[in-house]
Chains A and B, each alone.
Chain A
Amino acid sequence: MNPGFSERTRKKIDKIVARYPQKEAAILPLLHITQQEFGFISPDSEKQIAEILGIKPIRVREVVTFYTMLNREPVGKYYIQVCSNLSCALLGSEKLIDYLKGKLGIEPGQTTKDKKFTLSLVECLGACEQAPCMMVNFDYYGNLDKKKIDKILDGLE
């Protein structure tokens, strides 16, 4: 069981909940906070959120399973999301994905043994002018080629 939210986070949460005329509307903001604090959404976290909002845990589960950005399993320190949508595909994202698979030794959806990297294939990231592009955690990287990928990943501790 995770320790739950810190006192400081609880205060932040109370402020967020107060924005909405119906408490449930704060589910997504609270899930974002949870993922930021604990790295993923565990069943314990779902219960904690449900308790704060006065709803059943299944209501939180329903939401968690709908949105692709919410992880129900722990991910690596660096979460790599590579765009595989059209503009990136036109400019060679498929080859880069193969390169990343080989470099990291994992398939999309998997995490390296040292828990450093998780590789994920995603749809359009909204940075098509920089295609092919990817995100590492919340940082965008564009105009990628193999060299640039090496430089980015090798620079991460």
Chain B
Amino acid sequence: MAEQVLTQHFGLVNFYKIDEYVKKGGYEAVRKALQMKPEEILEEVKKANLRGRGGAGFPAGVKWGFVPKVDKPKYLCVNADEGEPGTFKDRYIMNHNPHMLLEGIIITSFCVDIHTAFIYIRGEYEAIALRLEEAISDAYDKGFLGKNILNSGFALDVFVHRGAGAYICGEETALLESLEGKRGNPRLKPPFPASVGLFQCPTVINNVETLSNVPQIMLKGADWFVGKGLPKDGGTRIFGVSGMVEKPGIYELPIGTTLKEIINKYAGGVKKGKKLKAVIPGGMSAPVLKADEIDIPMDFDSLVNAKSMLGSAAIIVIDTGTSMLDVLKAVTKFYSHESCGQCTPCRIGTSWINKIVKRMIEGKGSKKDLDEIVRLSSNILGNTLCPMGDAAAMPILSITKKFRKELESNL
């Protein structure tokens, strides 16, 4: 496998402990960053073209640059909600390398003049939340967090905040609402969180993997980082492969590695020698690709050109032994359950589609039902406050269009 950056020490026992981490050069990036000017850090991260690993792929440096220099508290929210089906990479990072994430948090906060950071972690990851709390407590003891970090005068507090089982809270404005102690209903944008975010203050929200890349960019520079991936999409990605493959798991590879290579070379190919039917390339929200569409570089722009998306780089592999109607059922069941209910097209649309698919599974469907699914999904697309509406509509539309013949044969 190519040189690993984020996962290189995952095999070491006790690497999650601060002493082991420091022995391997841990917190050197923080030391270096605290000697730099915040604007120099921002320039370097912008140059690195570090794009958001949560799903949207927005350049992190540009996002940080949007934060206005106002005399108000500013916040960093770390998105560790990891709810996109198929995604489990951030669990690995936080479990094996919590201090790398903390370093990223410290450097980002110093860069944007933030003094309070919250890690919003999905409720199910209780054990990981405890591990993070231990890491944070150790970092305070060693002077990497607190009032005067490494005698630089810079102060930062980090807290873990647990969610409680709601997919929508991975959407950044729903996350903010949830953190404020409300139902996770997304906010209307603009204003964007960079100017009006947590507690009405300027806020940066970044995914765990995104922030975990920052220490390496500080140590090795933007040029090195860009060299690890593509000019407009720097670094590596932790691809999570699941479903019908021989070796499901995480694979850290240069951005731009082809989907075909990831499935066949790294994940051991389709399970039990069956044939490939379809792949969801970037978490459940990503439109499905057919077996003949997988010779594609895994980067944000290539996937957009293929009318899908890289999303959270979570690859779900579907074999010829699987019925696409069953896949459609899992997808529609999920979105109808997880719609927050705020916008009518998504609330009614997803549950309506789910009912139709259930009917089809029971053998009571008709060709008209497939047209109805397309009509309802198209009505959700672009007509909701947050991206979850599109996230539901896109995979449903792609499955019904690309596998129409197979679905019709089930009727």
**Which of A's residues lie within 8 Å of B, judged by CB?**
19, 21-22, 24-29, 31-32, 53, 59, 62-63, 66-70, 81, 84-87, 89-91, 122-131, 135, 138
User: Is the CB of B74 closer than 8 A to any CB of chain A?
Assistant: no
A–B complex contacts, Cβ < 8 Å, 9 sampled = A24-B182, A29-B162, A67-B166, A67-B184, A68-B164, A122-B165, A126-B91, A128-B85, A131-B248
- Alpha-carbon gap, A122 to B334, bound state (A): 9
Given contacts A90-B244, A128-B314, contact A123 B337 (CB under 8 A): yes
User: Is A90 a contact of B161 with CB atoms below 8 Å?
Assistant: no
A86 to chain B, nearest CB (A): 4
CB distance from B305 to the nearest CB of A (A): 25
Instruction: Verify if B331 is at the interface (C-beta below 8 Å from A).
Output: yes
Instruction: Report whether A86 and B199 are in contact in the complex, using a CB–CB cutoff of 8 Å.
Output: no
Among A26, A89, A138, the residue within 8 A (CB) of B127 is A138
Stretch at the interface among B2-10, B117-125, B228-236: B117-125
Checking A53, A63, A67, A131 against B123 with a beta-carbon cut-off of 8 angstroms, the contacting residue is: A67
Q: Do B182 and A129 have beta carbons less than 8 Å apart?
A: no
Task: Return B86 CB to nearest CB of chain A, in Å.
Answer: 5
Q: Which A residues touch B240, using CB under 8 A? A: 128-129
Report whether A86 and B331 are in contact in the complex, using a CB–CB cutoff of 8 Å. Answer: yes
How far apart are the CA atoms of A138 and B126 in the complex, in Å?
7
Distance to closest chain B CB from A78 (angstroms): 15
- Are A123 and B242 touching (Cβ within 8 A)? no
Indicate if B387 sits at the interface (CB-CB under 8 A): no
Name the CB-closest residue of B to A125.
B124
**Complex Cα gap A2–B349 (Å):** 41
Contacts of A25 in B (CB 8 A): 179-181, 199
Contact in complex: B161, A124 (CB < 8 Å): no
Given A22-B199, A24-B180, A135-B124, are A128 and B248 also a contact pair (CB < 8 Å)? yes
Residue of B nearest to A143 (CB): B248
Minimum CB–CB distance for A82 against chain B, Å: 13
B137 CB to closest chain A CB, in angstroms?
A: 13
A85–B85 alpha-carbon span in the complex (Å):
7
* Residues in A neighbouring B212, C-beta threshold 8 A: none
Q: Which residues of A contact B331 (CB under 8 A)?
A: 86
Q: Chain B residues near A62: list those with CB within 8 A.
A: 182-183
Judging by beta carbons under 8 Å apart, are B338 and A28 in contact? no
Question: Which residues of the other chain, B, contact A91 by a CB distance below 8 angstroms?
Answer: 243-244
**In chain B, residues 139-169, which have Cβ atoms closer than 8 Å to a Cβ of chain A?**
157, 159, 161-167
Which residues of the partner chain A approach B161 to less than 8 Å between Cβ atoms?
Answer: 28-29
Say yes or no: A28 contacts B178, CB within 8 Å: yes
B141 CB to nearest A CB, Å: 17
From A27, A67, A84, A126, B88 is in contact (CB under 8 Å) with: A126
- The residues of B that contact A127 with a CB separation of less than 8 Å are 88, 91
**Chain B 358-388 interface mask (CB, 8 Å, partner A; 1/0):** 0000000000000000000000000000000
**Contacts known (A21-B199, A28-B178, A69-B124); A87 close to B86, Cβ less than 8 A:** yes
A77 CA to B127 CA, complexed, in Å: 19
Q: In the complex, what residues of A have CB within 8 A of residue B334's CB?
A: 85-86, 123-124
Query: In the complex the two chains form, what is the Cα distance from A126 to B330 in whole Å?
Result: 15
Q: Does B57 contact A (CB under 8 A)?
A: no
Residue of B nearest to A135 (CB): B124
| Contact in complex: B181, A124 (CB < 8 Å) | no
Contact assessment for B83 and A124 in the assembled complex, using a CB-CB cutoff below 8 Å: yes
Q: Does B249 contact A (CB under 8 A)?
A: yes
Answer whether residue B73 sits at the interface, using C-beta atoms and an 8 A cutoff. Answer: yes
What is the 8 Å Cβ interface bit string for chain B, positions 220-234, against chain A (1 contact, 0 not)? 000000000000000
> Is B217 an interface residue when CB atoms closer than 8 A count as contact?
no
Q: How far is the CB of B345 from chain A (nearest CB, A)?
A: 20
If A85-B330, A123-B338, A124-B85 touch, whether A32 touches B179 (CB-CB below 8 Å) is no
Which of A66, A81, A125 has the largest count of B CB atoms less than 10 A from its CB?
A66
Bitwise, B315-343 to A at CB < 8 A (1) or not (0) is 01010001000110011011001101000
Complex Cα spacing A19 to B120, Å: 14
Is B82's beta carbon under 8 Å from chain A?
A: yes
Question: Chain B contacts of A27 at CB under 8 A?
Answer: 181
A28 contact from B73, B164, B167, Cβ within 8 A = B164
Does B346 lie at the interface of the complex (its beta carbon under 8 Å from any beta carbon of A)? no
A2 to chain B, nearest CB (A): 20
Cβ of B250 under 8 Å from chain A:
yes
With a cutoff of 8 Å between Cβ atoms, the chain A residues found around residue B84 in the complex are: 124
B residues near A63, Cβ cutoff 8 Å: 181-183
Q: Is B241 close to A, CB under 8 A? A: yes
B309 close to chain A: CB less than 8 A: no
- Chain A residues, Cβ within 8 Å of B87: 124, 126, 128
Q: B333, A67: Cβ atoms under 8 Å?
A: no
> Shortest Cβ distance from A156 into chain B, in angstroms?
18
Q: Is the CB–CB distance between B184 and A66 below 8 Å?
A: yes
Q: Is B284 an interface residue (CB 8 A)?
A: yes
B182 and A123: CB pair below 8 A?
Answer: no
Closest chain-B Cβ to A94's Cβ sits at a distance in Å of: 9
A50 to B28, CA, bound (A): 44
